[in-house]
Amino acid sequence: MSSIAKTQKRSKKTKRLGPVPVIRADQYEAFDVDSKVECIRALIPLGLLHVQGVLEEEVCRLAGARYARKTPDLPGRRHGSNPGSVQLAGQRHPLRIPRVQQKDGGEIPLSALEPLRGRGQVDALLLKRVLYGISCRNYETAAVPGAIGLSSSSVSRTFTRASVKQLQALQDRDLSGLDLVAVFLDGKTFADMTMVLAVGIALTGEKHLLGFVETGTENETVLTPFLQSLGDRGLDISQGLLVIIDGGKGLRAAVRQAWGASALVQRCQWHKRENVVRHLPKGEQAHWRTRLPRAYRQLTYDKARKASVRLQRDLEKRNQSAARSLAEGLEETLTRHRLGIFPIL
């Protein structure tokens, strides 16, 4: 019985994959990051195999099949390969690149290779990754597993290329289609530089970043050409424009030089208040921080100006420097009142 069992042929089990469902693009987009990475990691070897096939097809057209006899009707001959790389899934992957040599000795470039080396969407992806807080030094841990060429310096160069494209699009775009009623100009410190931003406000309240300029300080020499460039790009100031600034002298001078009487300047009341109270002892600052906004909250220009002048006189009895700070540019802190738009803006 046992001998019969030994001689009996064992039936082989056939493994069948069965029907494979196709994943739609919207389903793939709904995957979490880990699932997407696993998909990419699984498909990259197949992608590289296809890349090798594409390159081999072109080599065959140029130099014939591998180990084939000489073909005088073809322009080139096989000439080994070099180490190289191609871009897949936003990353660089190593690959032996076949070479084709002209019969007179020159190199024949493979037309399929340049698109395979192209960066495609990697620049946009890198830009988003860096902007969302992944530092260049930590990028390797967030990249697709198995990729090469991910040093922080190469990431920084790629990010620079992507950001330059985005910056040029922002700084050069046409502004003539914007119907703006106000522009905010403000300086923000970034590292050891100051970035002065221009933000336009439409009548609907919608905000538009018009551009920015990098400068060491808010000085007229740098800011005047920047403001003039907004006009060159189509910003319409012919009907007048409410310009909100913090009161910096360089910025105010640049607005006057670039836009003249078309700019109705509204000084920032918060900055004015802080400039005034910093001249006072800390124990008194809270009291004056309350009084100055109370004057600005008056609904009409006459009432707001009278309250501000009264406050200035009270300050003269306490601190001359604080009083002079309030008097400087006082009218421009009340521009909205003078225009009759304070209750609505």
The DSSP letter of residue 113 is H
The span from the CA of 57 to the CA of 184, in Å, is 59
Q: How many CB atoms lie within 10 A of CB 227?
A: 25
The span from the CA of 34 to the CA of 5, in Å, is 50
The span from the CA of 60 to the CA of 46, in Å, is 21
The span from the CA of 115 to the CA of 131, in Å, is 27
Q: What's the angle, vertex CA 256, arms to CA 298 and CA 195, rounded to 5?
A: 90
Query: Does the structure show a pLDDT above 70 at 171?
Result: yes
At residue 7 the predicted structure's pLDDT band, cuts being 50, 70 and 90, is very low
Start-end of H helices in 64-121? 113-117
Contact 136, 152 (CB under 8 A): yes
Residue 137 CB partners (closer than 8 Å, separation 6+):
152
What percent of the chain stands above pLDDT 70? 72
At residue 313 the predicted structure's pLDDT band, cuts being 50, 70 and 90, is very high
Long-range contacts of 22-29 (CB under 8 A, 24+ apart): none
Averaged confidence pLDDT in the chain: 80
The span from the CA of 290 to the CA of 287, in Å, is 5
At residue 1 the predicted structure's pLDDT band, cuts being 50, 70 and 90, is very low
Query: Does the structure show a pLDDT above 60 at 6?
Result: no
Q: Which has the higher per-residue pLDDT, 172 or 1?
A: 172
Contact 97, 81 (CB under 8 A): yes
The span from the CA of 196 to the CA of 250, in Å, is 11
- Residue 24 pLDDT: 66
Sheet of 91-102, strand order: 76-88, 91-102, 107-108
Q: Residue 102: enclosing H or E segment and its boundaries?
A: strand 91-102
Q: HSE-up of 32 (CA within 13 Å, CB side)? A: 1
Contact 51, 116 (CB under 8 A): yes
Contact 202, 181 (CB under 8 A): yes
Q: Mean pLDDT: which of 41-55, 66-80, 212-226, 288-302 is highest?
A: 288-302
Query: Does the structure show a pLDDT above 80 at 116?
Result: no
SS3 labels along 123-174:
HHHHHHHHHCCCCHHHHHHHCCCCCECCCHHHHHHHHHHHHHHHHHHHHHCC
Region 167-179: mean pLDDT is: 88
At residue 306 the predicted structure's pLDDT band, cuts being 50, 70 and 90, is very high
Contact 331, 285 (CB under 8 A): no
Start-end of H helices in the chain? 2-7, 25-29, 33-63, 113-117, 122-131, 139-142, 152-172, 220-232, 249-259, 269-277, 282-296, 301-318, 320-327, 335-339
CA 124 vs CA 150, 166, 191: distances in Å: 16, 9, 24
Residue 339 CB partners (closer than 8 Å, separation 6+):
242, 264
